[in-house]
A = this chain, B = another copy of it.
Amino acid sequence: MKKLNIDTNVYLYPMPVVLVGAIVQGKPNFMTVGWVSRVNFKPPMIAVSINKAHYTSQGIRETGAFSVNIPGKTMVKLTDYCGLVSGRKVDKGMLFEIFYGELQGAPMITECPLNMECKLVDSIDLPSNELFIGEITGAYCGEQFMTNDNPDIKKIDPFVLSMPDNSYWGIGEFVAKAWNVGKEFKK
């Protein structure tokens, strides 16, 4: 067992990749985020952790809303680009077709298979990052990405991120049913 250098080398394997949307200074902006997790069951909540200095953080604070959009693999180049440039310099709202649900502060991306609009309910001030906790007040999925009225991961075709090798990976083969395959250990 090798002890790792936690300053450079501690990461969760693998991480989901999402585009977080916000209205900053009156204009829609999108940023790539890998630090994201569901955090509450009922009501449904999701949290995203963003560097405090980022343009997107400013927008979430201003409007009290944000969106979480899950891109498919076909969007990998544009998704990566949204993590390379700041909304301070580039109008990233121009890159996508945008739609809105009920929250004016949560611009969503039509091209992304799955979209959630979130009302900010709490914000945790951490040393370098701010953790924004949002209640998911609406969720949307293109019908072409659904099977039997449920989002279908094979059709969504998302990708995940590994660090520090900084690589995106597709979703592989089916492994097992969750809350099921472990039943054989039950006595």
Contact = CB atoms under 8 A, between A and B. Distances in A.
Interface residues on chain A, size class: 35 or more
B124 A156 contact: no
Given A49-B40, A175-B159, A150 B185 contact: no
A137 B142 CA distance: 42
Contact of A141 (B4, B80, B151, B163): B4
Nearest to A122: B124
A38 B12 contact: yes
A160 interface: yes
Contact of A183 (B1, B35, B84, B171): B84
Nearest to A148: B165
Please give the count of copies of this chain that the complex contains. 2
Contacts of A61: none
Given A12-B38, A129-B41, A166-B180, A175 B78 contact: no
Nearest to A51: B41
B171 A1 contact: no
Interface in A17-63: 18, 34-47, 49, 51
A49 B149 CA distance: 28
Nearest to A187: B90
A79 interface: yes
A7 B44 CA distance: 7
A51 B171 CA distance: 28
Interface of A: 1-4, 6-7, 9-16, 18, 34-47, 49, 51, 68, 70, 73, 76-85, 99, 101, 110, 114-116, 122, 124, 126-129, 131, 133, 136-143, 146, 149-153, 156, 158-186
By Cβ-Cβ distance, the 8 closest A-B pairs, closest first, are: A80-B182, A81-B182, A170-B172, A37-B37, A172-B172, A81-B185, A168-B175, A39-B49
